[in-house]
Chains A and B, each alone.
Chain A
Amino acid sequence: MNFLPLWRYRDQLIDGTLVTLELTVIAACFGLLIGTAGAVALKGRAKPTRWLVRGYIELFRNTPSLIQLFIVFFVLPSFGLKLPAFEAAAVALSLYFGAYSVEIIRSGLDSVPKSQIEAGQCLGLSGWQVFVHILLPPALRNAYPAVTSQFVLLLLGTSLASQVAADELFHVAGFVESRTYRSFEVYAVICAVYFAMAMSFKILFAVVGALAFRSPRRR
């Protein structure tokens, strides 16, 4: 066991880590946007939109992320939409994360009893006030744990982007391995880096959650 040869590649590894984080954050932001829009559409009255969103959720949750990435990267160019590796990975992961977010956000909104909304209306609050002051806080609180654990899964899932040669951490790992032939050390280090990132985010989310959602009554 010899970890020393890896030290020469520390800059590449750090760059890869940053790209991984960038990819995760981009996919999470777009995914949450898709999730919110989808959840609103599911609550809406228009049946075709509801079916469309349902179809989207089932399609993306029941097929492997890897195949989705291959379709975005290898198939879309034949329709004239040629995306570079990083962008293709960002699109594929956003859509994947979005499909999970819709359900999470919808169930967060559903967790607020109807009577609370009616109570707000009885107090003469406007629709927007009801949404911001009554619906949103408990909905966020209920959706928060699921969103954060899905975020960590997304972080780990960005490793798939290496398969279309996006320059993220796992792709750098392959490069370093091909240069050093130290496969055991390289993948041990890479796994440790992912683990450190995952744990940091879990701790960060736990702290933020404890600070942000100090509810009057903890269930």
Chain B
Amino acid sequence: MRSFSFIDFVSLLSALRWTVVLVVLALAFGAPLGLGLATGRISRIAPLRWISAAAIQVIQGVPLLGLLFFFYFGMPVFLGIQVPALVAVTVAYTLYTAAFLGDIWRGGLEAVKQAQWEAGACLGLSRWQQFCHIVGPQALRLSLPPTVGFLVQLVKGTSLASIIGFVELARAGQVVSAATFQPLLTYAVVAAIYFATCLPLTLWSRSLEARLDGSR
């Protein structure tokens, strides 16, 4: 047994980079998929609306832990292949991110008045041009604060990857706690690192909300 020392603190801090990697991967794949789901939800093609609505409902109705276990333990057995932890985790977080961002962005798109689309159509813009130049920018403004708010959920959610053995901040905390027998200090430091990561995002989201007030 050894006591909690500076080196443990450093190892926790450096585990934070895997938390960041997970968040970046989830956003890199989840955001485009989420945009697809959001535009699918407001599409004029009915089956496309149903499929995106169902996808969002299903993923939001399943625990994130369930997604992780399903893709890490379940899928490889079913497909009969070996899947590296990072890939399984990325798939789970991508779906999770896509479902929540898709819902947030759909809300933003629907909050823009229908007349804006029609005004674009009157100017002879195609549906795509209406989206890019008229509705999209307004929706972006409306949905930026909740999007940043979701980032906080995502950062906190990456802690679940520790459960399937992926060494990020929470897992590093377990390892250090087991090595030092000082759970109080270790988990306090882990919580503080998460707090220091999430609080700025929360405050940013709040200031965006005040600045980009949708009711204006």
Measured CB to CB, the residues of A under 8 A from B are 1, 58-59, 61-68, 70-71, 74-75, 78, 152, 156-157, 159-160, 162-163, 170, 173, 177, 183-188, 190-191, 194-195, 198-199, 202
Contact = CB atoms under 8 A, between A and B. Distances in A.
A1 B78 contact: yes
A152 B57 CA distance: 12
B63 A156 contact: yes
A48 B66 CA distance: 41
A157 B160 CA distance: 11
Interface stretch (B33-41, B67-75, B109-117): B67-75
A62 B152 contact: yes
B130 interface: no
B77 A183 contact: yes
A198 B66 CA distance: 13
Interface string B189-205: 01100110011001000
Interface string B152-170: 1000110110110000001
Contact of A64 (B65, B67, B156): B156
B73 A187 contact: yes
Interface bracket on B: 35 or more
Nearest to A173: B69
A96 to B, nearest CB: 10
9 cross-chain pairs, A with B, having the tightest CB-CB distances, nearest first: A198-B61, A64-B159, A62-B198, A184-B74, A183-B73, A159-B63, A184-B78, A156-B63, A64-B156
B21 to A, nearest CB: 17
A78 to B, nearest CB: 6
Contacts of A67: 159, 170, 173, 187, 190-191, 194
A63 B191 contact: yes
Contact of B187 (A70, A185, A191, A195): A70
B123 interface: no
Interface string B61-105: 111111101100111011000000000000000000000000000
Interface in B141-181: 152, 156-157, 159-160, 162-163, 170, 173-174, 177
Contact of B198 (A63, A183, A191): A63
A62 B75 contact: no
Contacts of A186: 74
B58 interface: yes
Contacts of A157: 63
A195 B195 contact: no
B159 A66 contact: yes
A176 B188 CA distance: 34
B184 interface: yes
B107 interface: no
A75 B187 contact: yes
B177 A195 contact: no
